[in-house]
Amino acid sequence: MKKNIFITRLARSAAATAMIGAGVIPPHQTNATVLPPVAAQEMSHSSRAIFPETELHASATGIFAVTVNQAPSVWDKKLEREFRKLALAEANNTISKEDASRLEQLSYWRDQLLCPQTVDETLLLMKRDRLLTRMENLLQEYVELQEAAGQTGAAS
């Protein structure tokens, strides 16, 4: 059964458009009024293997509650102090595993709030990802072709 390339491309484009419209475009850059997505504050999950130990809270029923931190809407001085403190600890190689995770989260928020990507940058990244996928597929086909040519050459 041959893959339907048109449907695949259409689905990728629709998914990309939905992703950009849902959360990548900052509200001040849209023409229409779009509310930013809000992460759930808590959720329950019975599979312990998916979540890191620091985020789990055991209960008598065997269900674990995971608290999801909502991203801040403004990068303030308190977050900057915490970020700098953790970055200094990392530079001195005295950072704990939990603090390293927090530093990574703060770094992501800092990038998003102080220097958000424009729509053009996001679309350029998506185009780059598509091109890299195509290059990977072409290289894989080339390797398979060379392997097949090597096997037929060795058989002669």
For residue 70, what pLDDT is reported? 78
pLDDT-based confidence at 155, cuts 50/70/90? low
**Residue whose structure tokens are 């350029």:** 124
- Domain shared by 75 and 109, yes or no: yes
- Domain shared by 44 and 61, yes or no: yes
**Domain total in the chain:** 2
Residue with the bigger pLDDT between 144 and 7: it is 144
pTM of the entire structure? 0.40
CA distance 84 to 75: 13
Q: Is the pLDDT of residue 81 over 60?
A: yes
For residue 45, what pLDDT is reported? 40
- Domain shared by 52 and 90, yes or no: no
- Domain shared by 57 and 76, yes or no: no
Residue with the bigger pLDDT between 27 and 44: it is 27
Residue with the bigger pLDDT between 149 and 4: it is 149
- Domain shared by 100 and 75, yes or no: yes
Residue 133 lies in a domain: no
Q: Is 62 left (phi over 0), alpha (psi -120 to 50) or beta?
A: left
- Domain shared by 76 and 102, yes or no: yes
Q: Is the pLDDT of residue 152 over 60?
A: yes
Residue 155 lies in a domain: no
Residue 10 lies in a domain: no
Q: Using the 8-state DSSP alphabet, how is residue 20 labeled? A: I
Q: Is the pLDDT of residue 129 over 60?
A: yes
What's the domain range around 62? 38-70
